[in-house]
Structure 1
């Protein structure tokens, strides 16, 4: 086995270990099968695909059935087939199975091509495994496979997600040097990266560079930069860009309005946010739960809990149901106001309403209880959180450490 192949297998195995999805039983069973039947790779392939299909939710990824049927008839899948199935699994967030299938693909001496490598680079970047993504990128080149624009875009985005903008720019420039002309999508990755890291002047420079090269910014490009201006508190500039966007014939989409509302609320301009919301109502634009979550959060953050509560309890009359984010916002709002009983009651009602609490819910209520000295209740929710497989986040852990270090610890701890 060559060095580049060994490296790829090693990276595949690390991804399988790293990513946590609800297929542990399947993976364990499959690995046992490989050990027991190491000399029958074709049979292993069928068992893998059948296991994935059996453990998948109905109506999700249909291509597995066809792939399994191919192999059962003795038709050996090639690199295109494997790549298609791996891409499908990745699209559904099923990284463990995709990585296991890629691992098997290499063992069966079906060598990945540029599409397969690009899928893997993208997956690793989305999982925050930049070192591994760069290793796969290097393996591609070692094998004589030239990365394409998709590969470069994934790598650039990976660096941006980790706020490594210098590396992102290097990858962007490398892409240009290799003869790939950046498009609006490529530019938007960098613009978004600069906006997230609050380097708004660099983002604006790239936005204008894109326009100067003859590319017409679309709604996604405008949305990204508008959001960037709000992040650094340049509200008026964000609103001016919104007007420019409309003047240039780009029609705002639901994401545009969500960005505007969120930006106004985050900058405590709740009156302007409500005026925009009224404009949306007048234009009969759809109001989904995301829009209401933004408004409820905005009112909670400025201490207008009565209005936030009214919006929350009016949702069913508007044909909407609160999701876990909505509940978390309200629970946090109650805790900030010292309404611990109401926060606890709302959490207790979540399961009855068909919305299960998540790790954020438990961390929020526990932090609120600790802030108000409710140690006994804190331990109740801590146990519930652990029993459900959730963990304390950094803030909760720090608060517990402070409590244990103080002399105010009672016997409940």
Structure 2
């Protein structure tokens, strides 16, 4: 039977015919129809009805409702019904505990999910691929990347064949650890198993190679995605651009940026423009950096301290003192508060600019960090053996970050 309305009619008929002992069986059979039809609300209403009629639920009752909740992608409901079992004196079996590993993991109860998983290993429960995948995801989220690999090996040792979702979850977790050799090995194993990589697989590979700064490998995945007509989102495009900034792929970054602009699915955002300006600034491509900034402003995005700091660094490396001063004017006019990185950059600028042009840099620094601004003024006009200077410096260096100390 696959019609929940018909199932209710049949149930009503038989309830008036059979004894109380048979009524539990009738309710459980009807619940299984609701599970098959994925009507969780009806299953919950039927449970309330059976309890009201004095029919005590058993393990089959709860396992059916929990399975229905899983099929409806409602892990919170699965957990809620699991935790009601003790209320009715029903003890879960090993299969139920194994199922709940996935449910607890999906609702974010990491401790309970891992506790059940450890118990499963000790008591040798039969765990499905969904539960193993959830435990891999949990370990990845908490940064236990060796744990991800151990769980994956445990799964295969138990004869459970990983599916595409499991491989993608593992790849995504290992990508965060920058273990690109493990990513490559897992990907090759997946291909040998006969599974066809989809968008999620390519996205995980791209993130992994980008984070590990494997430029050629990342670009190969990108090209493969384009050949297979897979649509990249802004996150993946920006991850690619950040990798290009790290490894010096300037031409590739420009090509990716132009590809984004031609895309119907996503356009460059503020992070895209900012990263491209960073790339041009890093490699002293002044005109390209300025043109990108102008394009960014035309697109409706605003200047921020990160972009302007990169421009200042570009001008400093190119000995364009007047442009440094002009950018400082923009920072002051827009009332943008410099951060520690920009303060570090401004300190470096002061070592390459005439003394008479230091005032604006000092005012910018003082706006972000009054103590640092005061110390810089003392450096400019005081004897470094002066006791006041020493005291100010000692107090300041106890509170500033590494960027400013290095500067």
How does the TM-score come out when normalised to structure 1? 0.52
Match of 2:158 in 1: 178
Q: Deviations over 1:363-403 (max 9, x none)?
A: x976579872336899xxxxxxxxxxxxxxxxxxxxxx975
Taking structure 1 as reference, are residues 373 and 74 closer, same or farther at Cα in structure 2, changes over 3 Å only?
farther
After TM superposition, the structure 1 = structure 2 runs for residues 327-406 of structure 1, keeping only pairs within 5 Å, are 330-334=304-308, 341=332, 372-374=365-367, 403=396, 405=398
Q: Give the paired residue count.
A: 282
Contact 1:268 1:298 in 2 (8 A): no
Kept in 1, the 8 Å contact 2:175–2:204? The answer is: yes
Which residue pairs with 2:100 in the alignment?
116
Match of 1:36 in 2: none
Q: What corresponds to 1:198 in structure 2?
A: 178
Q: How do 1:13-412 and structure 2 match up within 5 A?
A: 78-81=62-65, 103-104=83-84, 106-109=86-89, 113=96, 114-124=98-108, 129=110, 132-140=112-120, 146-244=126-224, 250-255=228-233, 257=237, 259-282=239-262, 284-288=263-267, 291-302=268-279, 303=281, 306=290, 309-315=293-299, 330-334=304-308, 341=332, 372-374=365-367, 403=396, 405=398
CA contact (8 A) 2:244 2:250 kept: yes
Cα shift readout 1:93-120 (whole Å, capped 9, x = no counterpart):
xx7x986776455545466624333110
SS at match of 1:198: coil
For residue 196 of structure 1, report the CA deviation from its aligned partner: 2.3
Higher relative contact order (CA 8 A, sep 6+): 1
The answer to whether the 8 A contact 2:244-2:252 is kept is: yes
Q: Can you give the 5+ residue segments of structure 1 that lack an aligned partner in the other structure?
A: 1-62, 317-321, 346-363, 379-400, 408-413
| C-alpha contact (below 8 Å) 1:121/1:155 kept by paired residues | yes
Q: Deviations over 1:339-377 (max 9, x none)?
A: 6556756xxxxxxxxxxxxxxxxxx97657987233689
RMSD: 4.6
Residues 159 and 168 of structure 1 are in contact (CA less than 8 Å); yes or no, is this contact kept in structure 2? yes
Aligned to 1:361: none
Q: Distance in 2 between matches of 1:105 and 1:307?
A: 65
> For the residues of structure 2 that align with 1:122 and 1:148, how far apart are their CA atoms?
15
Q: Distance in 2 between matches of 1:334 and 1:106?
A: 61
Higher Cα radius of gyration: 2
For residues 213 and 198 of structure 2, the distance between their equivalents in structure 1, rounded to whole angstroms, comes to 23
Quote the offset at 1:297 in angstroms: 2.8
* Structure 1 counterpart SS, 2:208: helix
Q: Return 5+ residue gaps in structure 2 as ranges.
A: 1-38, 53-60, 313-327, 345-364, 372-393, 401-407
Distance in 2 (CA, whole Å) between partners of 1:159 and 1:233 is 23
Shift of 1:181: 0.8
Shift of 1:286: 1.5
Shift of 1:73: 5.6
